[in-house]
Homo-oligomer: A and B are copies of this chain.
Amino acid sequence: MREFIPPAARFVDLPAAFAMRRGGTLTGARIAYETVGRLSPERDNAVLILTGLSPDAHAASHPADTGPGWWEAMVGPGKPVDTDRWYVICLNSLGSCKGSTGPASVDPGTGRPYGPGFPELSMEDIADAAAHTVRALGVDRLACVIGTSMGGMSALSLLARHPGLARGHINICGAARALPFSIAIRSLQREAIRCDPQWNQGRYDEGNYPQRGMFTARKLGMLTYRSAREWDIRFGRARIAPEEREEQEDRADRAGRAGRAGRADLEPFGREFQVEEYLERHARRFAHRFDPNSYLCLSRCMDRFDLGESCGTTTDEALSRVPLERALVIGVETDILFPLHQQQQIADGLCAGGTAVEFVAMDSPEGHDAFLIDTVRFGAPVAKFLTLL
């Protein structure tokens, strides 16, 4: 089990014994983070970014790591999240495998990775660990919490559990609770991993790795991250050129990551259309760069999230209780994983509680992933919101 820690990641230790909401305690746990920009002497210009399931803390390039971050177009000097003004903190979620403590981390109690023994993770744990990290960095009040995708869930949890920690909030393609279509998708992704014999009840290693399960999980994810409309335009019914296919196979084999399971196109009923090759390419790229147990933990934790259940009330009521000055909520019309009505619910709920809310429904064809791609369109409202904050 490997962790995938970006080179410039720094760390904040969680309290020596960090109690998990669903039981169990983490000892010596830590959160990986990066910062871009400078904290003002008044400590009033901090913006926290909470990520989706897979990104690390490297949202954007900075002197210590000049490689492009996962949200490079959005974060930096003069960009929508302008680091000439804002001190941006991005952190890797608790339970992930990119520097923060998760199933791939060593359990100090045993000296071996937690693996399947990692305590059950909840969105509230991710939120509490994030709040602790922010305070440990000397910030008592954030100007804004930005949450994208799963980060939109953990951001709402943080805001509800740590009233006053932030005055502004940008929720992008997030949700205040998981609904059955996304639960079903994630359930199938987990099943693909768990039913891979190489998963071995969570006791795999690089030599015996549930690659096939991870492939399927990632392909299923890709189905829901984009939209049918985008694929109609992008792939249509185009076939794979035979030479292109062979070249990709060769490259993958050289990378030592294909094995027999990767050569599905050579068998009957193998890949024929470009959309199939596209899914395969993404699956190969992802499968060995994310810890399967971590994937399972974060996935289930999303299913279980309901801000209402968490606060002992309805989702709408819980949203109305979130104390905020201003919020920007953005959704995408073609998002099938976190559909637009879920962002509408967040906007309406926050508004009912007295927050000044702006709601933007984007017409991007890129579905749930639009915030990573259609950054021109997303940049405008984010920049405007932060300028006025």
Whether, in the assembled complex, A205 has its beta carbon less than 8 Å from a beta carbon of chain B, the answer is: no
Q: How far is the CA of A228 from the CA of B185 in the complex (A)?
A: 11
Residue numbers in B under 8 Å from A26 (CB-CB): none
Whether, in the assembled complex, A53 has its beta carbon less than 8 Å from a beta carbon of chain B, the answer is: no
Residue numbers in B under 8 Å from A188 (CB-CB): 216, 219-220, 223, 279
Binds B, one of A77-85, A161-169, A260-268, A381-389: A260-268
Residue numbers in B under 8 Å from A197 (CB-CB): 197
Q: Is there an interface contact between B261 and A184, defined as CB atoms closer than 8 Å?
A: no
Q: Is there an interface contact between B223 and A184, defined as CB atoms closer than 8 Å?
A: yes
Contact flag A231-B180 (CB < 8 Å), given A188-B223, A191-B264, A216-B191:
yes
Q: Is there an interface contact between B268 and A303, defined as CB atoms closer than 8 Å?
A: no
Binds B, one of A3-11, A92-100, A147-155, A269-277: A269-277
This chain: how many copies in the complex? 2
Contact flag A269-B300 (CB < 8 Å), given A177-B237, A184-B276, A231-B179:
yes
Q: Is there an interface contact between B183 and A275, defined as CB atoms closer than 8 Å?
A: yes
Q: How far is the CA of A273 from the CA of B188 in the complex (A)?
A: 13
Contact flag A187-B276 (CB < 8 Å), given A179-B228, A231-B179, A269-B296:
yes
Whether, in the assembled complex, A102 has its beta carbon less than 8 Å from a beta carbon of chain B, the answer is: no
Question: Of all chain B residues, which has the CB nearest A181?
Answer: B228
Residue numbers in B under 8 Å from A268 (CB-CB): 116, 194, 201-202, 296
Whether, in the assembled complex, A306 has its beta carbon less than 8 Å from a beta carbon of chain B, the answer is: yes
8 A Cβ contacts from A256-301 to B? 261, 264, 267-269, 271-276, 279, 296, 299-300
